[in-house]
Structure 1
Amino acid sequence: MMNPHWLRSFVALVETGGFTRAARQLDLTQAAISQHMRHLEQAFGPLLIRRPRQIELTPAGMALLAYCQELEQIDKRLKVRLSDATADSGDISVISPGSVGLALYAALLALQEAHRGLVIRHRFAPDSEVLDAVLRKQYELGFVTMKPDDPRLKAVSFAEEALELVVPAGTTVTRWEDLDRLGFIDHPDGQAMATRLLMRRFPANPGIRSVHCHGFINQITLILEPVARGLGFTVIPRHAREAFARPEAITVIDGDPGVVDTLWLVYRAEWPLSARAAWVLEKLRQSKSFP
């Protein structure tokens, strides 16, 4: 990288149009400005055409000026990104599992609508990828369903999310046989979630594997579509159910005991959260999505 003092002298020379004026602007001697230009021209060739009371840039000089202007913009963006005074603008990076991600993304977009300077970068991923991405500093904020024990990560309880038994609208479920008759709509976490919830609701049940599977889908926004069409039941987290576009086509079978998981916010423990991340988290906690 070029010496920044040389580049400042070059920019001042272009802006002022003369060595004397550039030296005065930078509080340097004219000899210092000339020396800086010699260094630059040794590296890049002729940069200026010197005329009486006028300086004209060569093609190399125009390229160097564009480079200096790019550096100035990069410097400004860095200051904005790190400044505590700009918490409501700049990039915010979040990575989370699918269910909570649906609620997070909706809340983040609402926040961006109110603060157009924010730039939301959100990725959906399973717990293991979330932890890896935060450790690699690819994302500042992560959300997971299991509390990590890695000392490099700070884990804070953020919200609770219940598992829900969801059936086609108008369906009544009072016995295990009702579920067996409907059939199961599976998804990547389907059998594990169904086992955890249904073993409490129906303690003597023969297990979810005994129920005929009527479908499998790995896209979280589509899990409830076959349920809405009367093709079976499923068990999913509350946030995924709340994000479904046709709530009138499904029914949640309430009952006790339930299963409620803690959602954990994770970030690097070695340094504090940026002012922007802390501000966004506070706004998320205040939103209706995370009571």
Structure 2
Amino acid sequence: MLNPQWLRTFLALRDQGSFTRCAEHLDLTQAAVSQHVRKLEEQLGPLLIRRPRQLELTPAGHALLDYCREVGAADQRLRRKLSEADDTYGEIGLICPGSIGLVLHPMMLALQQENPGLIMRQRFAPDNEILQAVLENRYELGLTALKPDDQRISVSRFTEEPLELVAPASERINSWEDLARIGFIDHPDARAMGSRLLSRYYPGEKGIDSIPSHGFTNQISMILEPVARGLGFTILPRYARLAFQRPDSIQVIDGPVLVKDTLWLIHRSEWPLSSRAKWVIEELSLQVSSL
């Protein structure tokens, strides 16, 4: 790696146009300026053509000038990334379940549009992958339905999310027999969610496995499409239903009790959150609480 002091001298020499003015500008001797240039030229070849009252850069000199500019820009990016002074500059990495992710994604994009210095990086994942990604520092922030018990993880409550029984708007659902008649739209978490919710809504019935499956998808944004087309019902977290673009084609069937999960915000406890991460979480929390 090239000596940073030699690079500063080279930049000053190019800007000042003479060894004398460069030495005065840097509070160095002319001999020191010449030595710095000579050290660079020993590694890179001739950098300057010395003419009376004029210095001209060689092709190697121009290449070194471009390198100096790149180093300077990288230095500024690093300082901005580590700075606590600007909440609206830098990258935010969030990994979360798909349901809350569907709601947060447009909110995060809106924040980025309003603050072009932000870079939003979001991934949907199951709870075990979320925890591992935060532990490995691949994402600064995570949201998970399972509260971690790990001293390396800082945990705080973000919001609560009820489970919902969602059926086609065209169907009248008054009993367990109605659910069995229209069938079930399955997804990777549907049976676990269905067992929890339906045992509260319809105690004493046979359970979710006794209802015929009329479809399956592993894409959370597509689960409600067959429901909207009248092909069956499903069980989903509320935020997935709120993100669906055709709410008039579906209905939520209320039950005697509310079955809900807490979503936990997690990050590494060994170092503090960046100021921009704190600010983004505060903005998202306010918007989610208004839903």
TM-score (structure 2 length as normaliser): 0.96
Alignment-derived partner of residue 282 in structure 2? 282
Q: Distance in 1 between matches of 2:39 and 2:46?
A: 11
Q: Which amino acid in 2 is paired with 1:116?
A: P
Q: Distance in 1 between matches of 2:216 and 2:269?
A: 38
How far has the Cα of 1:114 moved from its partner?
2.5
Alignment-derived partner of residue 165 in structure 2? 165
Indicate conservation of the 8 Å contact 1:201/1:258, yes or no. no
Alignment-derived partner of residue 179 in structure 2? 179
How far has the Cα of 1:289 moved from its partner?
5.3
Indicate conservation of the 8 Å contact 2:159/2:289, yes or no. no
How far has the Cα of 1:46 moved from its partner?
1.3
Alignment-derived partner of residue 135 in structure 1? 135
Alignment-derived partner of residue 247 in structure 2? 247
Q: Which amino acid in 1 is paired with 2:157?
A: S
User: Could you report, residue by residue, the CA deviation over 1:243-270 in whole angstroms, capped at 9, with x for unpaired residues?
Assistant: 0010000000011222110001111100
- Report the secondary structure of 1:245's partner residue: coil
Indicate conservation of the 8 Å contact 1:284/1:290, yes or no. no
Q: Distance in 2 between matches of 1:204 and 1:174?
A: 16
After the TM superposition, which parts of structure 1 deviate over 6 Å for at least 4 consecutive aligned residues?
A: none
Q: Which amino acid in 2 is paired with 1:198?
A: L
Indicate conservation of the 8 Å contact 1:159/1:290, yes or no. no
Q: Distance in 2 between matches of 1:224 and 1:115?
A: 33
How far has the Cα of 1:192 moved from its partner?
0.8
Q: Distance in 1 between matches of 2:72 and 2:251?
A: 57
Q: Distance in 2 between matches of 1:250 and 1:97?
A: 22
Q: Distance in 2 between matches of 1:231 and 1:274?
A: 46
Alignment-derived partner of residue 225 in structure 1? 225
Q: Distance in 1 between matches of 2:22 and 2:74?
A: 23
Q: Distance in 2 between matches of 1:186 and 1:114?
A: 38
Q: Distance in 2 between matches of 1:159 and 1:63?
A: 54
Q: Distance in 1 between matches of 2:188 and 2:25?
A: 65
Alignment-derived partner of residue 85 in structure 1? 85
Q: Distance in 2 between matches of 1:244 and 1:289?
A: 18
Q: Which amino acid in 2 is paired with 1:187?
A: H
How far has the Cα of 1:288 moved from its partner?
4.3
Q: Distance in 2 between matches of 1:100 and 1:199?
A: 24
How far has the Cα of 1:89 moved from its partner?
2.4
Q: Distance in 1 between matches of 2:100 and 2:65?
A: 47
How far has the Cα of 1:117 moved from its partner?
2.5
- Report the secondary structure of 2:244's partner residue: coil
Indicate conservation of the 8 Å contact 1:141/1:266, yes or no. yes
Alignment-derived partner of residue 149 in structure 1? 149
Indicate conservation of the 8 Å contact 1:99/1:237, yes or no. yes
Q: Distance in 2 between matches of 1:91 and 1:38?
A: 41
- Report the secondary structure of 1:85's partner residue: coil
How far has the Cα of 1:23 moved from its partner?
1.5
Q: Which amino acid in 1 is paired with 2:200?
A: R
Give me the identity figure in percent.
59
Q: Compare 272-281 and 122-131 and name the one that shifted more.
A: 122-131
Q: Distance in 1 between matches of 2:280 and 2:11?
A: 38
Alignment-derived partner of residue 60 in structure 2? 60
Q: Which amino acid in 2 is paired with 1:216?
A: F
Indicate conservation of the 8 Å contact 2:214/2:232, yes or no. yes
The runs of 5 or more residues in structure 1 that have no matched partner are none
User: Could you report, residue by residue, the CA deviation over 1:135-162 in whole angstroms, capped at 9, with x for unpaired residues?
Assistant: 2222111111111112111111100000
Count of residues in correspondence between the two structures: 291
Q: Which amino acid in 2 is paired with 1:59?
A: P
Indicate conservation of the 8 Å contact 2:170/2:230, yes or no. no
CA RMSD of aligned residues (A): 1.4
How far has the Cα of 1:179 moved from its partner?
0.8
Alignment-derived partner of residue 35 in structure 2? 35
Q: Distance in 1 between matches of 2:154 and 2:267?
A: 5
Alignment-derived partner of residue 206 in structure 2? 206
How far has the Cα of 1:110 moved from its partner?
2.2
Indicate conservation of the 8 Å contact 1:145/1:262, yes or no. yes
Q: Distance in 2 between matches of 1:125 and 1:48?
A: 56
